[in-house]
Amino acid sequence: MLTTQGVRVSSRDYSYNILKEKIMSLELEPGTKISEKEIADELNVSRTPVREAFMKLAQEELLDVIPQYGTIVSRINLEHVEEGRFIREMVEKEIVILVSKDFPEVFRFRLESNIRMQELCMEQNNFQKIFELDEEFHQLLFAACRKERTWNMLQLLNSHFKRLRLLRFSSDTNWEIIINQHKSLYQLITNKEGEKASEIMEKHLRLAFLEQHVLKEKYPNYFIG
């Protein structure tokens, strides 16, 4: 048994978790060719769990198996991006309305702390941590109205949109817009102004998508569609 994030897991799950994290963080760039042997050697596991991890990641559309060529990290598909954004927008606009009606005190503190950490990371120019905190901010909204399973389900459909958003974070240091939107969302939820919070959420989730063409020009090899 191996350990990932402090939890003991099988070689297959270990390989899957490490590979997925490398893909989602863009450490393994879209279009990168990888092999079972290289990954097995790098992770110090046999090829069988790596092969199983490859199969699972291919089912999640994070790896593409190309006949007579090999396996590559899937490029960001803009049709999948739009679908992921659409689903998140429809759901999260309703989530903030729900949270506005009943916002548990413990989540107020956690959201406040999250926003302050975002500001600190902006001062330190740490885009990776700001992105993680951004994801946590949204996850907390789902948890606040007991919709954690919905959040987990969305993650399965959201991998291409999520990579686009991380690319946007790494390319644009004007993170203050995003953090200010988080502040507005928090304040509107606290004031029980759900409809206004819903409008802000719509604008918030469209930021990266509106900039997709700029990102595609800057990183042409990362995209299809």
User: 20-29, 73-82, 169-178: which has the minimum mean pLDDT?
Assistant: 169-178
Q: pTM of this prediction?
A: 0.87
73 vs 175: which has the higher pLDDT = 73
User: 38-47, 51-60, 162-171, 205-214: which has the minimum mean pLDDT?
Assistant: 205-214
pLDDT in tens, 146-160: 999 999 999 988 999
Q: How far apart are CA 146 and CA 102, in angstroms?
A: 11
| 3-class secondary-structure state, position 71 | strand
User: What local confidence, expressed as pLDDT, does residue 222 receive?
Assistant: 95
pLDDT in tens, 188-225: 999 999 999 999 999 999 887 777 888 899 999 999 86
CA 102 vs. chain centroid, Å, equals 26
Is the per-residue pLDDT at 6 higher than 60? no
Q: How far apart are CA 142 and CA 187, in angstroms?
A: 17
pLDDT in tens, 50-87: 999 999 999 999 999 998 899 999 999 999 999 999 99
> Residue 93: pLDDT band by 50, 70, 90 thresholds?
very high
Residue 72 bridge partners (DSSP): 33, 64
Instruction: Name the helix (H) or strand (E) containing 8.
Output: strand 7-9
Mean pLDDT for all residues in the chain? 92
User: What local confidence, expressed as pLDDT, does residue 214 receive?
Assistant: 85
Nearest to 41 by CA among 68, 16, 15: 15
Q: How far apart are CA 131 and CA 56, in angstroms?
A: 25
Is the per-residue pLDDT at 89 higher than 80? yes
| 3-class secondary-structure state, position 158 | coil
User: What local confidence, expressed as pLDDT, does residue 64 receive?
Assistant: 95
